[in-house]
Amino acid sequence: MSPTPSDATPPSSSHSPRPHRRLLWLALLGLLVAGAVGWQRWQSPSGTDAAVAQRRGGAERGPQTVTAATARRGELKVYLTALGTVTPSETVTVKSRVDGQLMRVHFSEGQQVKAGQLLAEIDPRPFQAALAQAEGQLLRDSAQLKNAEIDLARYQSLLAENSIARQQVDTQAALVQQYRGTVKLDQGVVDNARLQLSYSRITAPLAGRVGLRRVDAGNMITANDANGLVVITQTQPSHVLFALPEAQLAAVMKPYLAGRPLAVEAWDRSGKLLAQGKLETLDNQMDSATGTVKLKARFANGDDALFPNQFVNVKLLTEVRRDAVLIPEAALQRGKDGPFVYLIQPDNRIALRPVVPGPADAGQLAVEQGLSAGERVALDGLDRLRAGSQVKPRAPGAAGSDDQAGGGKRHGKRAASAPAALGPAAQGQAQ
């Protein structure tokens, strides 16, 4: 029997809905991506809009605020600087001149001593015994000399009476001379024994500060020991040795040969003035290896501010320029055409002015050519200045700057929350 249409099995539909679901999911995912991209483009301005906004911000900001300094006439001290070493006026290693046992030490380490002050004592008994022996020998020979002189006087009186031969008188005279030589030799031995005894008391050969003790009491010491007992350095006055290049020698030699004293200052590495002194002398030849010449300055050093072998920064005053045109050293710029300054013209526009700089000291620079007293120069924001730029000058130390003004415009909420930290221009924009 053939099946009827109603009894026929319907076709399978298990594979037909799946492709439709996949397409639906892909369509939803594409819509999400397109929405995200659109949202991002709507939130951020285009490159053209950003450039326009930047140009508008620059136009709204207006002239750049710069610190202006006015060139003035004043006095400038010309210094030569160098690195120097403090050296004491005299240094002595105290040594014993005799052998013996060190009995007592009469100084403290680091003590200031005077010339001739007792420092140490060596056992004097061996030297006292040697002195006693020499003095006894001298007494004995002196007695023999005196007896020979009495006999010579007697023989001479007998010779006058022709009672004895002249040969006997001459022999006695020679004996007297022999005893005199012996006595003189004994006297030398006595003096040497006294000298050795005096060496048992070691005294300071000069005034100064003693260093660390190198030998303790009770030790045996020998004459001229290499280490010695202690080192004494004379720090009052002290000297500072430093070197200058040959290019700067002429600036020193002219006033030095004229007999004009040159002031010298010693500074530590932190910028503290330690002492003031005078140039004492300079070497008689130049070091060919380094092209420098050594100089020596003398300092009273009454407060011991200078310590032996200390490194100091030396400033040698060679000249005082009066009525010089002075500007802050920060205003000087250097370009491919040489040094120049950013000149602020009367209409507050910038001009590049070539100048010939001179010496500088304490942040002030002497301008030898190119600038006159009363003209204004820019000190800050120089990397953004160009010839013809319009600027808004302000006095040195005044609050606010161009960067602060721009920051106040870009971050208005932050500027409004803390207006005291901004300049007047920025506060106005924040409001």
Query: Mean pLDDT throughout 296-305?
Result: 92
Residues ≥6 apart with Cβ < 8 Å to 239: 86, 87, 88, 89, 280, 296, 297, 298, 299
Residue 25 DSSP code: H
pLDDT of residue 397: 67
Stated as kind and residue range, the H or E segment containing 233 is strand 230-245
pLDDT of residue 398: 60
Q: How confident is the model at residue 404 (pLDDT cuts 50, 70, 90)?
A: very low
Same domain as 172, residue 215: no
Residue 174 lies in a domain: yes
Same domain as 418, residue 371: yes
Query: What CATH number is associated with residue 302?
Result: 2.40.30.170
379-389, pLDDT tens digit by residue? 888 888 888 88
Pick the more confident residue, 218 or 408: 218
Q: How many angstroms separate the Cα of 247 from the Cα of each of 80, 120, 275, 303?
A: 11, 52, 26, 35
Q: How confident is the model at residue 126 (pLDDT cuts 50, 70, 90)?
A: very high
Contact at 8 Å (CB) between 105 and 221?
Answer: no
Choose one of 277, 306, 322: the last residue of a domain: 322
Helix intervals (H) in 163-248 = 166-198
Pick the more confident residue, 324 or 420: 324
Q: Flag whether pLDDT at 319 surpasses 60.
A: yes
Q: How confident is the model at residue 410 (pLDDT cuts 50, 70, 90)?
A: very low
Query: Mean pLDDT throughout 364-370?
Result: 88
pLDDT of residue 19: 61
Query: Mean pLDDT throughout 328-340?
Result: 89
Same domain as 409, residue 343: yes
32-78, pLDDT tens digit by residue? 777 777 666 655 444 444 444 444 444 445 688 888 888 899 888 88
Q: Flag whether pLDDT at 200 surpasses 90.
A: yes
For residue 245, cis peptide bond before it (omega within 30 degrees of 0):
no
Q: How confident is the model at residue 259 (pLDDT cuts 50, 70, 90)?
A: confident
pLDDT of residue 61: 56
Boundaries of domain holding 111? 96-122+202-228
Choose one of 322, 355, 389: the last residue of a domain: 322
Same domain as 262, residue 252: yes
pLDDT of residue 415: 34
Residue 50 lies in a domain: no
Query: What CATH number is associated with residue 391?
Result: 2.40.420.20
Give the integer Cα–Cα distance in Å for 343 and 365.
Answer: 15
157-193, pLDDT tens digit by residue? 998 888 888 999 999 999 999 999 999 999 999 999 9
Pick the more confident residue, 405 or 162: 162
Pair type for strands 64-70 and 391-394: parallel
Stated as kind and residue range, the H or E segment containing 17 is helix 17-43
Give the integer Cα–Cα distance in Å for 255 and 247.
Answer: 16
Tokens of 287: 């070091």
What are the two backbone dihedrals, phi and then psi, of residue 309, each rounded to the nearest 5 degrees? Answer: 70, 15
Choose one of 291, 306, 322: the last residue of a domain: 322
Give the integer Cα–Cα distance in Å for 25 and 21.
Answer: 6
Residue 39 lies in a domain: no
Same domain as 224, residue 189: no
pLDDT of residue 407: 39
262-284, pLDDT tens digit by residue? 999 999 999 899 999 999 999 98
Return the percentage of the chain with pLDDT > 70, whole number. 81
> What's the domain count of the chain?
4
